[in-house]
Amino acid sequence: MADAAQAARHVLIAADKFKGSLTAVQVAQRVTAGLHRIAPGVTVESVPVADGGDGTVAAAVAAGFERHEVRVTGPLGEPVTAAYALREGTAVVEMAEASGLQLLPDGVFAPLTSTTYGSGEVIAAALDAGARSIVFGVGGSATTDGGAGMLAALGARFLDAAGEPVGPGGGALAALASADLSSLDPRLADVEIVLASDVDNPLTGPKGAPAVYGPQKGASPDDVAELDAALGHFAKVLAESAGPQALEYAESPGAGAAGGIGYGALVGLGASFRPGIEVMLDVLGFAPALARATLVITGEGSLDEQTLHGKAPAGVAAAARAAGVEVVAVCGRLALDPAALGRAGIRRAYPLTEVEPDVARCIAEAGPILEDVAARIATDYLP
């Protein structure tokens, strides 16, 4: 009877990466192994998820998209290899692949001069490959240039008072005298671009890109003030050429995403903003998988207050709750009480640190520990 009950259960694993230890695909593999240790007859399906930040292309590839690689300009101006994903005319572009913090050498930051030029080159490559719609996932950036580099790579011209192109990075935008978006790649006008992000910050101000995210990219208080002023000036100059809506976009949700590249996408590429996890669940085919599920296991490295504000587990749990499917979560670290989890639609969370309190060991041995945690879930939820 137990085997028949297990066979009737259909578990969907829809977890994000455990940053620094396991990819979303590896999380799914380990959870599957742990479940089958206790419940060998249970059906397990996995849809690795991402919220638009680093790991987004990998999640798309796991869902059946084709991985493409291209050599582009990295955040410091050096060549890097970046990947995007493509399937049936839909491209998934992850700005962190070309302009992400993970591309910087250890201990090296360039908050004033790092560029998103390579992200524009990846978008151009996707257009070359025939993309008719682009999901532009932004997050994990090393940059705070308002997307100026990206737009320049796609044909925009940003000139100083001498008629010369301004330098790379957000700091150089203080010298911007004129902006011309009329020479942007004409193919952009016929492509639907969705800005997928888990943050809704404006471009500037106390909640803007420099103030909130600049410090994690190495920006000092003086750098933050300089970048905030430069991005505000960028928006004013764009308004002179692109119209007053350029200033309105600066206040729009998502404009401050990934060092302001959200702003560049909104004002220059005609992108529409949607919460990253909502977009990715659509792209990854989550809905049909959810329809088959009787239990959903989601998770990420740290379940904390940030999780509740647009991160992947919250999006998965919201969709599952709407469908009436029970949700539990796995995580490395848990910083939410049961009431907060319940409000998010998560019945229970299983942190790895409950099994191995030593955080360093927990990170180093995340895979085997996660299998043990998944076995506990099988004992608790799979009769």
pLDDT of residue 167 exceeding 50, the answer is: yes
Instruction: Tell me which residue has tokens 């230890």.
Output: 21
Looking at the structure, tell me whether residues 60 and 117 fall in a common domain.
yes
Distances (CA, A) of 264 to 60, 146, 321: 24, 6, 35
Tens digit of pLDDT for each residue in 47-65? 999 988 889 999 999 999 9
Single residue among 237, 252, 277 that ends a domain in this structure:
277
Q: Are residues 62 and 200 in the same domain?
A: yes
* CATH number of the domain that residue 271 is part of: 3.90.1510.10
Asked whether residue 197 carries a pLDDT value surpassing 70, the answer given is yes
Q: What is the mean pLDDT of residues 354-358?
A: 93
Q: What range defines the domain where residue 359 resides? A: 2-47+285-381
285-329 pLDDT, tens digit each:
999 999 999 999 999 999 999 898 888 999 999 999 999 999 999
Asked whether residue 150 falls in the same domain as residue 203, the answer is yes
Share of the chain above pLDDT 70, in %: 98
* pLDDT band at residue 20 using 50, 70 and 90 as cut-offs: confident
162 vs 152: CA distance, rounded Å = 18
Please report the pLDDT score of residue 310 as a whole number.
Answer: 81
Q: Provide the pairing of β-strand 192-197 with 10-13.
A: unpaired
**Whether residue 359 sits in one domain with residue 262:** no
pLDDT, tens digit, 9 for 90 and up, residues 238-279:
999 889 999 999 999 999 999 999 999 999 999 999 999 999
* pLDDT score at 306: 87
Residues 27 and 64 placed together within one structural domain of the fold: no
Mean of pLDDT values over 192-204: 94
Residue 29 has pLDDT above 80, yes or no: yes
**Whether residue 62 sits in one domain with residue 15:** no
Q: What pLDDT does 53 receive?
A: 87
| pLDDT (mean) for 41-49 | 96
Residue-level pLDDT at 1: 40
| Domains: count for the chain | 2
pLDDT at 179 over 50: yes
Domain match, 255 and 299 both: no
Residue 322 sits in a domain whose CATH number is 3.40.50.10350
Alpha carbon distance 376, 34 (integer Å): 8
pLDDT for 357 beyond 90: yes
Is the domain of 15 the same as that of 156? Answer: no
Give the residue-averaged pLDDT of 130-141. Answer: 96
Length of the chain: 383
Q: Are residues 73 and 138 in the same domain?
A: yes
- Give residue-wise pLDDT tens across range 331-341: 999 999 999 99
Domain final residue, candidates 277, 296, 312: 277
Judgement on whether residues 213 and 132 belong to the same structural domain of the protein: yes
User: Among residues 277, 296, 321, which one ends one of the domains?
Assistant: 277
For residues 185 and 81, state if they share a domain.
yes
Q: Which residue, among 88, 18, 89, 91, has the nearest Cα to 55 in the 3D structure?
A: 18
Q: Please name which of 55, 30, 41 lies closest in space to residue 8, comparing C-alpha atoms.
A: 41
Considering the domain architecture, whether residues 60 and 178 belong to the same structural domain is answered as yes
